[in-house]
Amino acid sequence: MAKSLIIGACGQIGSELTIELRKQRGADTVVATDIREGSKSLLSSGVFEKLDVMDKKAVVSCIKRHDITEVYLMAAMLSATAEKYPGKAWDLNMISLSNILDIAKEGLIKRIFWPSSIAVFGPTTPKKNTPQVTIMEPTSVYGITKLAGERWCDYFYHNHNIDVRSIRYPGLISWKTDPGGGTTDYAIEIYHKALTHKVYNCFLKADTELPMMYMNDAIKATIAIMEADFSNITVWASYNLGGISFTPEKIAASIKKHIPDFSINYIPDFRQKIADTWPDSIDDTIAFQDWGWKHEFDLDAITKDMIANLTRKKKIS
């Protein structure tokens, strides 16, 4: 049985991944770490330690103390924040990955999960049904770090036989945690504002189509790729992962089916420029062929689940 270390466990994806892995494999098989403390539900679900991924010695000590066999490296600076602090984004996103790859090279862990993003694509990439292998000239700081990271993973597999698995997540939607500074975060904020104010000022234009995915599907994909047979993995940079694609206009229409007097205004800001360089939709045939990937949630299923859970959560708090 794998013993997992989650780095960045208090973030949007890390917190849900930690809880799901603990549910599936047992609480004591997962060590959650972050530089900050997370929600009560995360902290009470099992072992939590404060850990800075930039401190390689501390990471090694944690891995040895807990007999860790696999690491999920979820710590990173996301797209919108990275544009504000480019140097810090480069350091965090690259040094964190280098530290974990080196630790694997030293033989201390057997397997790594490191997430990439649709941000690796750029304005010259074909936008519709973007293929696995295509032109990649990202223009955002975040995209540049993710593309460099992908090449680094591929290099470590081919030169040092490191088992590092990766997915290019699309924009992720979840009701459980607040978003962490990404360009696709409008698709989370919109549900919160629809319930509290019945109006949302969207920072993207009405017809900005982006690939998106419900968090349940993203967590399912993350666990599936890590549990796939080594011999089935053919992509050592990062797999394309498709969910659904929609625009702010379409998500607003889906919300109106539940909240008829909801309205949306479009006030694009600097994030529009980032979104304009990303694909509209993703071809994930290779993930399906290699490890059976298939998404479950479409837009109306996401809206129904988001509204039901956020309504319940707001009543409790």
Q: Which residues bind ligand NAD (CB under 6 A)?
A: 7-8, 10-14, 34-36, 51-54, 74-76, 78, 92, 115, 117, 169, 171-172, 180, 182, 184
CB closest to ligand NAD, residue no: 11
Closer Cβ to ligand NAD, 197 or 313, answer by number: 313
Closer residue to ligand NAD, CB minimum distance, 36 or 315: 36
Least distance in Å: CB of 85 to ligand NAD? 12
Active site residue 266: no
Instruction: Considering the complex, state which of residue 181 and residue 258 has its C-beta at the smaller distance from ligand NAD.
Output: 181
Can you tell me the distance from the alpha carbon of 77 to that of 83, in angstroms, rounded to the nearest whole number?
10
3-state secondary structure (DSSP) of residue 252:
helix
- The helix-helix angle for 299-316 and 186-196 (nearest 10°) equals 50
CB of 52 to ligand NAD, least distance (A): 4
Q: At closest approach, how far in Å is the CB of 35 from ligand NAD?
A: 4
Residues 72, 142, 157, 186: which is the catalytic one?
Answer: 142
Nearest to 169 by CA among 95, 236, 119: 119
Query: Strand (E) positions, the chain?
Result: 4-7, 30-34, 48-50, 70-73, 111-113, 116-117, 163-165, 167-169, 171-173, 199-202, 210-214, 239-240, 244-246, 263-266
Smallest distance from ligand NAD to CB 261, Å: 29
Both ends of the chain: CA-CA distance in Å? 38
Residue whose C-alpha is closest to residue 70's, from 30, 24, 116: 30
Tokens of 143: 């995209």
Nearer to ligand NAD, 73 or 198 (CB): 73
- Give catalytic residue positions: 142
